[in-house]
Amino acid sequence: MVAKVGQKAPDFTMSTTENIETLDHVVTLEDYKEKWLILFFYPLDFTFVCPTEIRGFNSRIDELKSLGAEVLGVSTDSVYSHRAWIKASKSEGGLGELNYPLASDITKQVAQDYGVLIEEKGISLRGLFIIDPEGIVRYQVVSDLNIGRSVDEIIRVLHALQTGGLCPIDWQVGEKTL
């Protein structure tokens, strides 16, 4: 089963950094029932574009949570690598404290199920999926490794999805739907 817009999101079970010290937290899709989930894949820890996105989502986490959304970042790195990256200083290429978890898709199964795995490299493309409170994929965008995503656009799309209406090109919060 590969993730497709309008269909049930593939289930997953992954270890996360939710408890940064013990790394004993495991997350499943079911944990996000009745919430919107922004599930985003990034290629690798300790890289260049990835921290800009991860910090970008972190800087807007309160706004996303106020919209009933949770954020989960995923790469094929281990939770130990995630923890080292979070705990490393920014001057050493670290992320700093995060207010949402990073998950480890060490088996690469989740990236495969969501259609973003680059098999020959063992890493994922930059894939982002918005999953509604019933577990249905409502939006997806996948880009090449070198292109960071826009948190503003993700928030705009989340608002649009939550209207339940028809949103024309460049629709913005507060505008009428069709």
Q: Per-residue confidence of the chain (178 residues) as pLDDT tens digits?
A: 899 999 999 999 999 999 999 999 999 999 999 999 999 999 999 999 999 999 999 999 999 999 999 999 999 999 999 999 999 998 888 999 999 999 999 999 999 999 999 999 999 999 999 999 999 999 999 999 999 999 999 999 999 999 999 999 999 999 999 9
Structure confidence at residue 91 (pLDDT): 87
Structure confidence at residue 163 (pLDDT): 97
Structure confidence at residue 162 (pLDDT): 98
Structure confidence at residue 10 (pLDDT): 98
Instruction: CATH number for 13-20+32-163: choose from 3.40.30.10, 1.10.540.10, 3.40.50.300, 3.30.390.10.
Output: 3.40.30.10
Q: What's the CA gap between 44 and 50, in Å, rounded? A: 7
Distances (CA, A) of 112 to 71, 75, 124: 20, 12, 8
Structure confidence at residue 1 (pLDDT): 81
Task: State the catalytic residue, choosing from 50, 98, 116, 154.
Answer: 50
Distances (CA, A) of 118 to 46, 113, 143: 18, 12, 12
Tell me which residue has tokens 């009745």.
34
Q: Is 167 a catalytic residue?
A: no
Give me the residue spans of the domains in the chain.
13-20+32-163
